[in-house]
C-alpha cells in the first residue's frame, strides 16, 4: 500500500496534488510520502515483535537526510556501506550504536573514521579486511565489534546484478570456510566477534531462499558456539521485494517474513537485525515527468518525456519495470494507445518502456513513474549536463523541497581550469 491515490480526477501524494508540486518546482522531480515510509518501517518492526531486534534501514536505497531523520525518529538503525553514508547517518542524528557498516571494500581511512565516531558493528567480508580492521583498532586503542558475512551459496532467484548469496558472487566468505575464519577473528587483537551476517540479494519475491539461507545460519550458530564463540547477534540483511506493477502477484508481506524468522531462528536467543531498503522506500516515492513531444515513428508512437536515464537508471540498467500513470485520472473504459516511453538523452538505452498501453497523451501532460523511491535519486547523475532533479517530501497537506535542482552555473563552476590555460 502507498499514499499516491487519485482524488477528484488528480493523482495526490497524501493530501497534496502532484500537479501542484510540479507547478511549484518544475519537472522532473521525485516525491516521497512520509506516511508510506512510516507505514512500511512499522510493518517490519511489528513483524519482529517479541524478539530482541533492530530494523536497520539500508540507506543506499535512498539517502536524503529528510528520509533518514524520519526513520531515525521511529527508532530505525542504519545500514551504511561507505564513509559518506556513515557521515550522512550521523548528520541525520542517528546514534552510532544504531549504525552497522557493511560492504566488501572498506578502506582503512573509513575504518579509522568509524572507529573514532562509534559503530554498532562492522559486517566484515574477508580475512584481509579483518586483519586491516584489527590493526586500525589496536592503533586507536579500541575494540571493533564484528560480525562476519557468510556466503551461504543460495540462489536468491532474482536479477543477476542484485544477487549476492551465490558462491560466484563477491560478497562474504564461503560458509564452508566459516569456522576457520571465525577462529582467525578470535585470535586477532582489537576485534570482538559478536555474530553472523548474511545477505543473499535484493528484490526477492519468495521466502524459500531466505529460509534456506537462515537454516544454514542456524546450523553455523550451533557449530560456532560449540567452539566457544559467543554468537549473540544475527544480521539477516534485507532483500524482500516490492510489487512494481499493479498486476504483480504481491511478494510476501513483512509479517510473513517475520513469522519465518521466528520459526527458523527464534530458539537461538540471538538479537536479530534486518536491513530492508527497497520495501521501506520503493513504493514511498514517485518520479513525476512532463511529456515534451509525442512523435510518430515508422511503426510506433514515441512518448518523449523530460525525465531521462540519468534521473532513473533502473530500466536501462536492470530492464526494470515501473508502472507509468497520468496525473490526470483517465476516464473509465478509455481506449489506450501503445507508446515507447523515452527520455531526451542521446542513447537508445534511454527507454523506460516499450509499447506500453497508456491513455492518449499530448505535450504538457504529466505522468508519474510509480515505485521509484528506491535506487532512483541516489543513482542519478548529471550525464549530458542535466541537473540532478529535485527531491520533494510530502507530509499530510505540506510539501518541502528536500534537495533543490542545481543551476547550470552551479554545475559549471565545479569545474577547475588548470593554471596553464
Nearest to 268 by CA among 227, 220, 228: 220
SS3 205: coil
For residues 289 and 307, the answer to whether their CB atoms sit within 8 Å is: yes
Q: Are strands 301-305 and 29-33 parallel, antiparallel or unpaired?
A: unpaired
H or E, element range at 402: strand 398-403
Residue of 31, 56, 270, 346 marked catalytic: 346
SS3 52: coil
Q: Residue 346 catalytic?
A: yes
- How long is the chain? 421
Beta-carbon count within 10 A of 317 CB: 14
Helices (H), 83-206: 83-91, 108-117, 127-140, 178-187
Angle (deg, nearest 10), helices 65-72 and 34-47: 40
For residues 146 and 190, the answer to whether their CB atoms sit within 8 Å is: no
SS3 96: helix
SS3 366: strand
Angle (deg, nearest 10), helices 83-91 and 108-117: 20
Cell for 111? 575504518
The 16-17 sheet, strands edge to edge: 4-7, 10-13, 16-17
Catalytic residues: 346
Amino acid at each position: 500500500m502507498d499514499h499516491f491515490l487519485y482524488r477528484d480526477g488528480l493523482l495526490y501524494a497524501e493530501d497534496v496534488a502532484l500537479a501542484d508540486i510540479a507547478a511549484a518546482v518544475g519537472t522532473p522531480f521525485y516525491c516521497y510520502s512520509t506516511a508510506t515510509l512510516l507505514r512500511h518501517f512499522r510493518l517490519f518492526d511489528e513483524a519482529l515483535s517479541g524478539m530482541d531486534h533492530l530494523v536497520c534501514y539500508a540507506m543506499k536505497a535512498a539517502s536524503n537526510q529528510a528520509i533518514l531523520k524520519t526513520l531515525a525518529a521511529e527508532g530505525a538503525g542504519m545500514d551504511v556501506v561507505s564513509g559518506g553514508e556513515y557521515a550522512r547517518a550521523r548528520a541525520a542524528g542517528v546514534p552510532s550504536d544504531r549504525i552497522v557498516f557493511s560492504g566488501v571494500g572498506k578502506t582503512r581511512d573509513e575504518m579509522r573514521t568509524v572507529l573514532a565516531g562509534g559503530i554498532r558493528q562492522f559486517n566484515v567480508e574477508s580475512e584481509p579486511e579483518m586483519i586491516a580492521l584489527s590493526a586500525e583498532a589496536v592503533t586507536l586503542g579500541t575494540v571493533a565489534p564484528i560480525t562476519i558475512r557468510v556466503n551461504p551459496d543460495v540462489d536468491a532467484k532474482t536479477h543477476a546484478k542484485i544477487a549476492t548469496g551465490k558462491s560466484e558472487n563477491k560478497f562474504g566468505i564461503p560458509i564452508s570456510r566459516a569456522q576457520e575464519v571465525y577462529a582467525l577473528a578470535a585470535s586477532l587483537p582489537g576485534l570482538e566477534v559478536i555474530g553472523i551476517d548474511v545477505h543473499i540479494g535484493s528484490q526477492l519475491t519468495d521466502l524459500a531462499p531466505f529460509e534456506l539461507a537462515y537454516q544454514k545460519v542456524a546450523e553455523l550458530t550451533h557449530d560456532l558456539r560449540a567452539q566457544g564463540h559467543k554468537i549473540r547477534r544475527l544480521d539477516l540483511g534485507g532483500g524482500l521485494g516490492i510489487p512494481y506493477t499493479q498486476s504483480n502477484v504481491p511478494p510476501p508481506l513483512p509479517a510473513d517474513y517475520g513469522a519465518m524468522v521466528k520459526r527458523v531462528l527464534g530458539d537461538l536467543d540471538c538479537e536479530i537485525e534486518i536491513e530492508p531498503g527497497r520495501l521501506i522506500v520503493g513504493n514511498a516515492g514517485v518520479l513525476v515527468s512532463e511529456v515534451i513531444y509525442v512523435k510518430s515513428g515508422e511503426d510506433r508512437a514515441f512518448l518523449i518525456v523530460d525525465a531521462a536515464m540519468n534521473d532513473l537508471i533502473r530500466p536501462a540498467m536492470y530492464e526494470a519495470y515501473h508502472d507509468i500513470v497520468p496525473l490526470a485520472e483517465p476516464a473509465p473504459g478509455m481506449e489506450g494507445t501503445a507508446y515507447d516511453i523515452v527520455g531526451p538523452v542521446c542513447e537508445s538505452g534511454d527507454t523506460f518502456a516499450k509499447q506500453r498501453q497508456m491513455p492518449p497523451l499530448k505535450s504538457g501532460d504529466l505522468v508519474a513513474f510509480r515505485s521509484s523511491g528506491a535506487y532512483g535519486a541516489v543513482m542519478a547523475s548529471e550525464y549530458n549536463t542535466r541537473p540532478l532533479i529535485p527531491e520533494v517530501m510530502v507530509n499530510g497537506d505540506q510539501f518541502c523541497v528536500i534537495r533543490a535542482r542545481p543551476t547550470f552555473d552551479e554545475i559549471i563552476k565545479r569545474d577547475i581550469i588548470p593554471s596553464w590555460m
